[in-house]
Amino acid sequence: MTEPALVVRLEQAAPIPLKVAFDCAAGELVALVGPSGSGKSTILRAIAGLVKPMSGEVRCNGETWQDASRFVPPQARHAGLVFQHYALFPHMSARRNVEAALGTVPRAARRDRALELLDLVNLGGLEDRLPHALSGGQQQRVAVARALARDPQVLLLDEPFSAVDQVTRRKLQRELAQLRRRLRMPIVFVTHDLEEAAMLADRMVVLQAGETLQAGPPFELIARPRDVQVARLVDFRNLFHGEIVAHRPDAGHTLVRWLDFTLEAPLRTEFDAGGPISWGILPAHCILHRRDRPSRGERENPVTGVIDEFVPFGENAAVTMRVDGRADAELQLSIPLHVANRNSLAQGAEISVTLLREGIHLMPFQAFERRAGIPRGAGVDRRPAGE
């Protein structure tokens, strides 16, 4: 089996704890996500050789950059690193900034190569401008061109879009998506923006306190976090506690007791019947029942409640529903605004929704504090399932 283009295994106890393991194939973009202080930028610097973790290994395209007996210095690694604030030389033009990274290219060829790289990042015609005469997005493109000037085997991007406005950010995201198809090298991308990671990355690595908690395709990871801890980190909105009632292998589902409801979830026989469970469902998997016309789909995990909060948000409405009117069972919904208006939704309105069976995700039981200040154990009913 062919080894991935980039393999990273890093461990240390201090000064910044690390227990990291992931890889990245050629042409793949891996996003590192997690709260501030989770070690994301340190990992990029370790790959580039700017910091030396106590133990671990970094391999790129068959070359060992770090292991127990070897540490290749940064200048000998073919790694292109784009810093969060670009770090351009302020007294040099865009072209000269790129030329400064072309140390291995014959001097006579550096100008032409710098212009090629600036064209690659859509900066043709702006090569003579100083950084202060370039927009934030244009400076970011110069930084990428400079990183590519080293003919890297891996491109490392440390929150490259954080210093630009939203419109420019969207444009740069599209350009990165196009550029990566031309580069065909592993790209490791640090971001705080989960939506950005989901849009751009082939895989996401969720980190906390320097440890890899889970890795996988973005939408799969966001919809099916490994546990409550990961669910919190990927902003999984609806988290509750319940109890496994029974497994029904013939029907392909597991029955879960939550409050006074018995819900059907995908079959998960690894959880013991009668035991506690943590579970969640994304707002997109909570389907509003039309008030004027019932349908057969309403038989699937129906729950009722009262709208506690209704906030129009662009083309959608963010709705908080108190299931059975209970303050300890708040369900977050996202409903197209035209659907909300058609159904006369407003604060205080009584509604019913379907919790899609395939959208219910079961996780090992873990006590947690509700974000809105609701007591620990919210949503757990300890009465026997038959009462």
Instruction: Judge if 202 and 142 occupy the same domain.
Output: yes
- Please tell me the total count of domains within the chain: 2
In 84-153, where do the E strands start and end?
Answer: none
Name the residue range of residue 78's domain.
6-223
Interior angle at CA 89, CA 83 and CA 93, nearest 5: 115
Instruction: Judge if 281 and 168 occupy the same domain.
Output: no
Q: Are strands 350-355 and 302-313 parallel, antiparallel or unpaired?
A: antiparallel
Instruction: Judge if 314 and 217 occupy the same domain.
Output: no
Instruction: Judge if 106 and 218 occupy the same domain.
Output: yes
Instruction: Judge if 177 and 243 occupy the same domain.
Output: no
Instruction: Judge if 131 and 161 occupy the same domain.
Output: yes
**pLDDT, the chain, mean:** 90
Instruction: Tell me whether residue 291 is in a domain.
Output: yes
- Supply the CATH number for residue 117's domain: 3.40.50.300
Instruction: Tell me whether residue 130 is in a domain.
Output: yes
Instruction: Judge if 211 and 282 occupy the same domain.
Output: no
Instruction: Judge if 258 and 327 occupy the same domain.
Output: yes
Sheet holding 29-33, edge to edge: 70-71, 63-67, 55-60, 6-12, 18-24, 211-216, 203-208, 29-33, 187-190, 154-158, 79-82
Instruction: Tell me whether residue 93 is in a domain.
Output: yes
- Which single residue is written with the structure tokens 């050789």? 49
| 159 phi, psi to nearest 5 deg | 45, 60
Residue that terminates a domain, selected from 223, 247, 270: 223
Instruction: Tell me whether residue 25 is in a domain.
Output: yes
Instruction: Tell me whether residue 1 is in a domain.
Output: no
pLDDT in tens, 161-184: 887 888 888 999 999 999 988 888
Determine what percent of the chain is predicted with pLDDT higher than 90: 77
Q: Which residues pair with 158 in a beta bridge?
A: 190
Instruction: Tell me whether residue 307 is in a domain.
Output: yes
pLDDT in tens, 234-270: 999 899 999 999 999 999 999 999 999 999 999 999 9
In terms of Cβ atoms closer than 10 Å to its own Cβ (0-12, 13-18, 19+), residue 206 is buried
pLDDT in tens, 116-168: 999 999 999 999 999 999 998 999 999 999 999 988 999 999 998 887 888 88
The 10 Å CB-count burial string (b at 16+, else e) for 160-188 is bbbebeeebbeebbebbeebbeebebbbb
Instruction: Judge if 267 and 193 occupy the same domain.
Output: no
Which amino acid type is present at position 355?
L
pLDDT in tens, 51-74: 999 999 999 999 999 999 999 999
Instruction: Judge if 205 and 247 occupy the same domain.
Output: no
